[in-house]
Amino acid sequence: MTKNIKIALGLIYILCLSLILYGFFIFVDVTQLNNYGYIRDKTQFLIEIRDQNLVWFTTLFFLFLILWILLLGFATPMALVAGFLFGKIYGTLISVFGFTIGCTLLYIFANQYFKSLILEKLSKRISKFKEIFNKNEFFYFMIFRFAGGGGTPFAIQNLLPVLFNMKIKNYFFSTLIGLFPMVFILCAIGSGIEKIIESNIDPSFLTMIQNKEIYFPILGFFIILFLSFLLRKIYFKK
């Protein structure tokens, strides 16, 4: 890839990220994030827009998830938001498919234009994963996703298969299946928070923990963490 193309892609990335951050700070006053009344009003505003334009709102949110992952964004906060806005079932479906498509497009893009750079920066640091994945790329990458990437940041997880030239079909479906359990738990937590705010309950930490809409997903979250720890010990030994 020529230097001009790299510069153009970098500028597009900076522009897209800047627009997202600009939109966020226009909509949200970060100094009011500790104000329950402010958070309730903002969330109610989003819910009203969702109810009035459900198809368009869902479509735009889904496309935003794809773009967010393409821009190397974090998945966890977006899964919580999806659960809050769409409930644990629809939120999970929207999030998992949005994340998977975004991850796959990022993988294709990185494999096409930044493969040499990724090989240079990552091949030595995570060579042990390359050896593991070459045995059965679909199964081990699915377990890798489920286990939270063995502690690897989400953006690096998405780029890792470039090292062993993973098949796109295997990448897509192993990501889809591997992300599902944790995304479901996060969406359930987001949905529980929405129900608490909707009921106008004092959202103290103690109140939230005692609410079954929250403590069951949190329990599931810790179970997933424990299983992830076991899987890392079994399949990703140093």
Which of residues 119 and 127 earns the better pLDDT score? 119
**Residue 32: pLDDT band by 50, 70, 90 thresholds?**
low
What residue ranges do the domains of the chain occupy?
1-30, 35-235
The pLDDT of residue 101: 96
Q: Looking at the predicted structure, is the pLDDT value of residue 206 above 60?
A: no
Mean pLDDT over the full length of the chain = 79
Query: Burial, 83: exposed, middle or buried (Cβ in 10 Å; 0-12, 13-18, 19+)?
Result: buried
The pLDDT of residue 127: 64
Q: What is the pLDDT of residues 133-190, one digit of tens each?
A: 777 888 888 888 887 776 778 888 898 888 888 899 999 999 999 999 889 988 888 8
Residue 230's identity, in one-letter code, is: L
The pLDDT of residue 93: 95
Q: Looking at the predicted structure, is the pLDDT value of residue 102 above 90?
A: yes
